């Protein structure tokens, strides 16, 4: 029985690792080479991100996003894009708006159920 628990633990750990890798790969969005120029100042970075994020929100029909960049413990950029609440037309405030990352618990539940089926 102990061997079964260890096997299940390793399968879940492997599945979780694989899931995290897939999520990271899928969230990487290639940007045109012309947009990847090095940005030395915060204003240039802000312009680049405003353009890129606004484009992605429109192309992917996303209601809103919040972005904060921290360097050496100091917030160097904090921006909100789109709406936190579409019905009330509330804008995203990067200091107060929180977004849920999604329902990922379904994946773990489904994996456990399928392992029980095996």
At 61-110, the pLDDT tens digits run: 888 888 888 888 888 889 999 998 888 999 999 888 887 766 667 777 88
Q: pTM here?
A: 0.50
Mean pLDDT value of segment 14-31: 64
Instruction: Classify burial at 25, counting beta carbons within 10 Å of its beta carbon; exposed 0-12, middle 13-18, buried 19 or more.
Output: exposed
- Nearest Cα neighbor of 104 from 32, 19, 10, 3 is 19
The three-state secondary structure class of 2 is helix
Q: Where exactly are the structural domains of the chain?
A: 40-103
Residue 34 has pLDDT above 60, yes or no: no
């Amino acid at each position: 029985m102990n061997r079964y628990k260890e096997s299940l633990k390793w399968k879940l750990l492997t599945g979780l690792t694989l899931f995290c890798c897939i999520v990271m790969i899928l969230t990487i969005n290639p940007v045109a080479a012309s947009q990847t120029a090095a940005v030395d100042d915060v204003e240039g970075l802000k312009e680049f991100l405003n353009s890129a994020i606004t484009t992605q929100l429109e192309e992917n029909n996303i209601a809103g996003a919040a972005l904060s960049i921290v360097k050496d413990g100091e917030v160097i950029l904090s921006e909100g894009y789109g709406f936190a609440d579409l019905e009330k037309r509330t804008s995203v405030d990067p200091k107060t708006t929180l977004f849920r990352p999604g329902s990922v618990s379904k994946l773990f539940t489904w994996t456990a159920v399928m392992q029980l089926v095996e």
